[in-house]
Amino acid sequence: MEENQIRNFVIISHIDHGKSTLADRFLELTDTISKEKMHPQYLDSMDLEREKGITIKMKPVTMIYRPLQSQKSSSKFILNLIDTPGHVDFSYEVSRSLAAVEGAILLVDAVKGIQAQTLANLELAQKEKLVLIPVINKIDLPQAKTEETKKELANLLNIKEDEIFSISAKTGENVKKLLDSLILKIPGPEIRLEKPFRALIFDSKYDSFLGVVAYVRVVDGKIRKGEEISFLASQDRGIVKEVGIFKPDLTPIEELKSGQIGFITTGIKEPEKIRIGDTITKILDYRIEPLAGYREPEPKVFVSLYPENQTDFELLKNAFLRLKLNDSSLFFQPQKYQLLGRGFLCGFLGSLHAEITIERLKREFNLNLIVGAPQVCYKVLNQQGKETSVFNAADWPENPQKVFEPWVELKVITPLFFLSKVFELLKSFGGKYLDSSGFSKDRFFLVYQLPLRSLIGNFYQKLLNVSQGFASLTYREIGFEEGDLVKLEILIAGKTEELLSRIVPKTQVFLEARKMVKKLKELLPSQLFAVSIQAKISGKIIARETKKARRRDVIAPLYGGDYTRKRKLLEKQKKGKEKLKERGQLKIPSGVFFKMFTSD
């Protein structure tokens, strides 16, 4: 395949702007998927993606396209598309996919216009120096503001309005025109078949029969089944079981060449040996220069995870290793808690990332988990002036000298009509105003700084609520600032539940305490005895609620008769509940822990 017959590109946008639907139309136009097998959001293969209506994992697909099918001499093009997520928690997936391509379709919703994550993804694409094709989607909707959105996009990119495509991915309007133009505008990759083989791993997955399957962009040379390979970073070796392309299922081919995107089945059964961003080369070429990999993402949200059954600890460990293959942003390390045994401290890029990963552990590996409260990483100075990193409340030292917490710069785009409510929300979460400006005729752009801990709960949901779903946000970490923070402990039935403890500002501790005990009262299932729920700070109880006992009507079978008999039955029931309370072990459902900090 010659250079000008390969096109490698991605679709990037804010969440829910139509990336997956546009990918569907491309699959149909190129006859990659037959009409009988086609269904909406075809590339979103995970159950969680379909349930939530979002893309979680990048999806590569190879399409064969003939732009002028009516002519016998028409050229055949190989189109390698990578469909990317739109949510800010999965921006690392986007950055990895951008490094494997030469061009990007920047998709904008004609109803909602440019959103915060549109700007963030645009910045990533510009850093990779990709050719951008601006596209406005959903022009078929009655409420579409196509011309207004076109002006916004033209001003943002400093281009003419006639350079922007207007399409409907749902109906297919102008999609073929876009696909034909894509071939002309996006350059083909540089082909270097004569050089020693080098390929960059941009994703991977585990297959119980084939071992680790590496998703690669081949930069130099070519590779075939049966050849020896080595991994330059890990220094591990393997033998190629298969090479192939994504149709979108794994489809073997004879040879994978420079300029192509495809997969290599390594035969390696230890997931930890394969690293995303590593360079694959042939065993005889191990001295060649490795390709530029990816910057390791830093986790922002930390959650403690424990198996309900301690015999599942190794299963949980292996599950993490397999998930790490196609989610290099996942961080985990073993930890032990006296009441729960062995588990893991896990790091995620955000609350949604944590929620998705936990759900995948439950569904894909049949694990029952106990989930701790999401926390951020704090820098704490003890009385001797020694600095330590604290990832969960259980490790919080007594009487720290100073505490530093991570802050972020938050960018919000909101309609002018909801501006005052958004201002109030940001202020209530401890935000510091930096800047604001008109983004378009009826939308405003805000820049704030606020503590990262404010974002890991229900901030995003509240932003959507106050703006009726029209506001959007993106953020980046800017460093640590000193904070006046304390540890708020929760006691249930007189026992401290460290997984529910959290770090809060001293000025908000009483409000948070009352809110937490009330919420726990709602979430905890009723027991056969009354359960006390208390909040404590520095040994002092500052809030309390009681979950009433679930009771059975023991006098229901009695009709009339002496009241003394009824009273004896009630007294007997009361004493039984008191004994049960003394001996009873309260088991908190795993879902309670995470719901405490991720829902209203």
| One-letter-per-residue 3-state SS of 359-412 | HHHHHHHCCCEEECCCECCEEEECCCCCEEEECCHHHCCCCCCEEEEEEEEEEE
pLDDT in tens, 7-34: 999 999 888 888 888 988 999 999 888 7
Q: Cα separation of 259 and 594, whole Å? A: 44
**pLDDT beyond 60 at 179:** yes
49 and 122 share one domain: yes
Is residue 546 domain-resident?
yes
Instruction: Determine the structural domain holding residue 552 and report its residue range.
Output: 486-598
| Neighbouring-strand partners of residue 245 | 251
- Which pTM was predicted? 0.79
Residue 167 has pLDDT above 70, yes or no: yes
Residue 156, CA distances (Å) to 113, 138, 164, 368, 471 in order: 12, 20, 12, 48, 19
481-539 tens-digit pLDDT: 999 999 998 888 888 887 788 888 888 889 989 988 998 888 888 766 678 889 998 88
CA distance 208 to 318: 13
Residues 440 and 491 in one domain: no
Residue 167: which CATH number?
3.40.50.300
Read off the pLDDT of residues 576-594 as tens digits, 9 standing for 90 and up: 555 444 444 566 766 676 6
Judge whether 291 lies within some domain. no
Q: Which of 67-81, 207-221, 338-352 has the highest mean pLDDT?
A: 207-221
Could you tell me the CATH number of the domain that includes residue 367?
3.30.70.870
Based on the fold, state whether residues 355 and 416 are members of the same structural domain.
no
In this predicted structure, what is the pLDDT of residue 584?
A: 47
Is 181 within the bounds of a domain? yes
CATH of the domain at 278: 2.40.30.10
Percent of the chain with pLDDT over 70: 84
CA dihedral 215, 218, 223, 224 (to 10 degrees): 40
Pick out the residues of the known binding site: 16-21, 137-140
Query: Residues 505, 537: contact at Cβ < 8 Å?
Result: no
Q: What total number of domains does the chain contain?
A: 5
Alpha carbon distance, N-terminus to C-terminus of the chain: 55
- In a shared domain, residues 99 and 10: yes
Taking the C-alpha atoms of residue 448 and residue 141, their distance in angstroms, rounded to an integer, is 33
pLDDT exceeds 70 at position 370: yes
CA distance 317 to 321: 6
Known binding-site residue numbers for GTP = 16-21, 137-140
Given a cut of 90, is residue 149 above it in pLDDT?
A: yes
Residue 473: per-residue pLDDT? 87
Token pair, residue 200, equals 């960059």
